[in-house]
């Protein structure tokens, strides 16, 4: 009898110890803090630690639970940026050959969130960009998004996400761990850093060379006028008047583990 009681006490102690680990870090009043979970996801990837427990939590939650937890626009943006960037690392570190056919890779439903298999394309264009048609240059919305997308997409998309999403390529923005409380500040800093690293202004010809991201999603930036305004605000060009824009070729070479502190 004493041995049995000791065994049960040991099991209870072990279960309590386990609870003080990852679950204790991301649970508040028995509710999962999905923003903290997404941050832990990237931290574990950065530190070369196993992420299966986090993936299981993400897979087995419900749409309703996730919708209720992500109750502000910044919470949604930060969560989905971390999830997108994290799964890029997880999947391509394990199967880098998938990147040989990028078109299929981004459309493949290979990420399980809230019981649904979703693609990187759905997360980027459906959720983070609020149901934009992938090929619409930022000017055309999807007509009939599904329930998952409608319930979990952001309320207000922001252009800075294009300088925060890491798709695994060498010219992609580096991976930051986004905290919803600091998200606007982090996006602002990240945008300026990326534009400084990828832009080149020639004062003699009044031509600025910029990342192709501006071309692919021009509507998200407010068209050519909006692009110039962003470049001026980030001190890439001195004035928006008379400036011509050229878009540089994008380097799609696979480049993982590119983390940055913001």
Q: Give the span between the Cα atoms of 40 and 22, in whole angstroms.
A: 8
Query: Does residue 171 fall inside a structural domain?
Result: yes
Query: Does residue 66 fall inside a structural domain?
Result: yes
Query: Does residue 258 fall inside a structural domain?
Result: no
Query: Does residue 6 fall inside a structural domain?
Result: no
* Percent of the chain at pLDDT exceeding 90: 88
The residue count for the chain: 262
Q: What is the DSSP letter of 250?
A: P
Answer yes or no: are the C-beta atoms of 208 and 248 closer than 8 Å: no
45 lies in which domain range?
34-247
Q: Give the span between the Cα atoms of 125 and 11, in whole angstroms.
A: 46
- For the chain, give the mean pLDDT: 92
Task: List, for residues 110-132, the tens digit of each pLDDT value.
Answer: 999 999 999 999 999 999 999 99
Exposed/middle/buried for residue 101 (C-beta within 10 Å: 0-12, 13-18, 19+): exposed
Q: 258 CB contacts (<8 Å, ≥6 apart)? A: 166, 172, 174, 175
Average pLDDT over residues 56-84: 98
* Percent of the chain at pLDDT exceeding 70: 89
Q: Is the pLDDT of residue 249 over 50?
A: yes
Average pLDDT over residues 221-248: 97
Task: List, for residues 152-191, the tens digit of each pLDDT value.
Answer: 999 999 999 999 999 999 999 999 999 999 999 999 999 9
Instruction: Read off the pTM.
Output: 0.90
* Amino acid 130: pLDDT: 97
Structural domains in the chain (count): 1
13 confidence band (pLDDT: 50, 70, 90): very low
Query: Does residue 26 fall inside a structural domain?
Result: no
Query: Does residue 259 fall inside a structural domain?
Result: no
Q: Give the span between the Cα atoms of 116 and 52, in whole angstroms.
A: 17
Query: Does residue 25 fall inside a structural domain?
Result: no
* Amino acid 119: pLDDT: 98
Query: Does residue 9 fall inside a structural domain?
Result: no
Q: 230 CB contacts (<8 Å, ≥6 apart)? A: 159, 191, 195, 221
């Amino acid at each position: 009898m004493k041995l049995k009681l000791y065994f049960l006490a040991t099991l209870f102690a072990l279960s309590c110890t386990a609870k003080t680990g990852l679950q204790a870090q991301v649970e508040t009043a028995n509710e999962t803090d999905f923003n903290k979970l997404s941050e832990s996801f990237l931290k574990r990837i950065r530190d070369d630690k196993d992420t299966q427990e986090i993936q299981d939590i993400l897979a087995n939650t419900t749409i309703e639970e996730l919708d209720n937890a992500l109750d502000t626009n910044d919470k949604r943006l930060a969560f989905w940026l971390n999830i997108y960037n994290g799964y890029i690392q997880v999947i391509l570190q394990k199967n880098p050959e998938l990147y040989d056919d990028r078109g299929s890779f981004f459309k493949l439903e290979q990420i399980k969130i809230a019981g649904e298999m979703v693609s990187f394309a759905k997360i980027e264009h459906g959720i983070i960009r609020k149901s934009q048609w992938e090929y619409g240059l930022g000017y055309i919305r999807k007509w009939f998004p599904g329930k998952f997308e409608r319930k979990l997409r952001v309320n207000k998309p922001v252009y800075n996400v294009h300088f925060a999403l890491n798709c695994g390529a060498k010219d992609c923005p580096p991976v930051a761990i986004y905290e919803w409380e600091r998200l606007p500040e982090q996006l602002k800093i990240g945008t300026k850093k990326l534009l400084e690293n990828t832009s080149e202004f020639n004062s003699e010809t009044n031509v600025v060379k910029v990342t192709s991201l501006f071309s692919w999603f021009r509507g998200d930036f407010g068209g050519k006028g909006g692009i110039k305004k962003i470049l001026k605000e980030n001190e890439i060009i001195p004035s928006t008047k008379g400036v011509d824009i050229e878009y540089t070729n994008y380097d799609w070479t696979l480049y993982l583990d590119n983390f940055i502190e913001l």
